[in-house]
Amino acid sequence: MGRQRLGKCTNAAGSRSPFLRSSSSTHHRSFVFKTPHLRDSMRRDDDYRLVDVCLASSAAPIYRSLAAIDTPGRPDTFRVFADGGLWANNPVVVALVDALQMTEPGDRIEIYCMGTCPRPSGDFVKKNQVHRGLPDWKFGGSVATLGMDAQEFAYDNIAHMLAPHLDRDAFGNLVWPTLAV
């Protein structure tokens, strides 16, 4: 994996379609690393090392260091990335947009979302506990969890609400079992 380049990644069937989401700390923007599976990808990410892309995608603030990734073909240039979960902890909408760009009307789209965490369950907060300061929010850790849980739930609902309006496969449009493993 240390030498493997993103542009050479394929699945077992030999097609290219993976993407890994990250957050650019350098520019405070979302960033999606992609294989060259889209016609207009301009192959921007082909030369990134797969190990660097994985580090960029999993650099969870508070829990792990940010990832300083060298820019391919540009000596002495790097970008700093944080975990893509900051903006797409549930990447189903990102996958849906990607799938729509890759397919034609009438094509079947299948999206499989496999999570490692249970569905958000929330916290019971008593009425007299609503006034919280930094220590009560675990110095930001609880705020991050709340934001990521809310985003995960929202993106899943957005994708389900959009599915019936797409001009893809008339027998169900999208198939995605959300699995917690």
Per residue in 32-56, pLDDT (tens digit) is 888 777 667 667 888 888 889 889 9
The rounded distance, in Å, linking the Cα atoms of 38 and 43 is 9
Residue 4 has a pLDDT of 75
Q: What is the mean pLDDT of the chain?
A: 77
More confident residue, 134 or 20: 134
Percentage of the residues of the chain whose pLDDT score is greater than 90: 6
pLDDT tens per residue, range 65-97: 999 999 998 889 999 999 888 888 788 888 888
**Which residues contact residue 81 at a Cβ distance below 8 angstroms, ignoring those fewer than 6 apart?**
22, 23, 24, 25, 26, 31, 55, 56, 57, 59, 66, 67, 69
Model pLDDT, residue 11: 56
Contact 89, 151 (CB under 8 A): yes
Q: Is the pLDDT of residue 17 over 80?
A: no
